[in-house]
Structure 1
Amino acid sequence: MAFSRNHNIIFMLIPFLIILATTSFASAGLLPFSSKHVVIINKLVTRQTLIVHCKNKGEDKGVITIGPGDSFDFRFRVNLRKTTVYTCTFTWPGNVATFDIFRADRDDNPKSKVGVCSECIWSIYEPAPCRDRRDGGQPNCFPWAS
């Protein structure tokens, strides 16, 4: 009898969780395992080819070559503890720079100054990486880590 009752609760809980995950709670970064899409666009003013190598603790996205104006993207889910970080090394002639292209504390936190992004679009310029805003406003630019 107890198994039957637990079984019914599980079947009622699954649709509820699916609905919850597809509502504004998920896009606001309030749920664990939120889906993210990072897009990196080569906007080097010098029109040089950009070589990008992104990875986190458990996943290496490989070395990618991005031509002028072209882009590279990848998808993932934020971990339960919301500590997900993807660090990228950017190389172009005469330069090597690193930057955390995704940090859960910055990009999946409604209290951060730049807010939550489900599609995190980054324009890479020589002086700084900039996260574009969906509303077309001034992008948020950050200093290179190195």
Structure 2
Amino acid sequence: MASSRNHNFIFMPISFLMIIATIPLTSAGLLPFSAKHVVIINKLVTRATLIVHCKNKGEDKGVISLGPGDSFDFRFRVNLRKTTVYTCSFAWPGNTATFDIFRADRDDNPKSKVGVCSECIWSIYEPAPCRDRRDGGQPNCFQWDGFP
């Protein structure tokens, strides 16, 4: 009888751990240090070259030149306090703009209106940066920072 109890004692925690392992908690924004992949695509209607410069407090991704349809991507992990922000400046002929391409409070928060993204795909248009949806629905477009 004692060996039967020991078997159940070991089986239950292992079953629980197997169930927990199948739930993608980090991609749902529920655990700290969730892995993120940001992709920025030049979709300027004018087909101009887009100059992109992204950085956060501790990391500068450098200045990248994107031709029409070209993309640039980078990966990182959200910090423990979930305050990670990557800000990008964008320039194309006659225009400059900035935008927080990743904000943990917006992009890694299940309660935000746009939801969590583990792969955050951004299409950059003249009027607005738009985060594409994985389900193919209408993208979520935002105003450029500092624009009325």
Fold shared by both chains (TM-score > 0.5): yes
Give me the whole-angstrom Cα distance separating, in 1, the residues matched to 2:37 and 2:22. Answer: 15
Structure 1 residue ranges (4+ consecutive) displaced by more than 4 angstroms after TM superposition: 19-22
Give the count of matched residue pairs: 131
Contact 1:21–1:31, Cα closer than 8 Å, also in 2: no
Give me the whole-angstrom Cα distance separating, in 2, the residues matched to 1:100 and 1:88. Answer: 6
Give me the whole-angstrom Cα distance separating, in 2, the residues matched to 1:21 and 1:29. Answer: 15
Aligned-pair identity (%): 88
Q: Which runs of 5+ in 1 are unaligned?
A: 1-15
Residue type of the alignment partner of 2:48: Q
Distance change (3 Å), C-alpha of 1:20 and 1:88: farther
Give me the whole-angstrom Cα distance separating, in 2, the residues matched to 1:20 and 1:57. Answer: 34
Displacement after TM superposition at 1:20 (Å): 5.4
Displacement after TM superposition at 1:27 (Å): 1.2
Displacement after TM superposition at 1:88 (Å): 0.1
Q: Which runs of 5+ in 2 are unaligned?
A: 1-15
Residue type of the alignment partner of 1:60: D
Displacement after TM superposition at 1:90 (Å): 0.2
Per the alignment, residue 86 of structure 2 pairs with 86
TM norm structure 2: 0.84
Matched residue SS, 1:106:
helix
Matched residue SS, 2:41:
strand
Residue type of the alignment partner of 1:65: S
> What does 1:1-146 align with in structure 2 at a 5 Å threshold?
23-146=23-146
Q: Deviations over 1:70-114 (max 9, x none)?
A: 100000000000000000000000000000000000000000000
Residue type of the alignment partner of 1:87: T
TM norm structure 1: 0.85
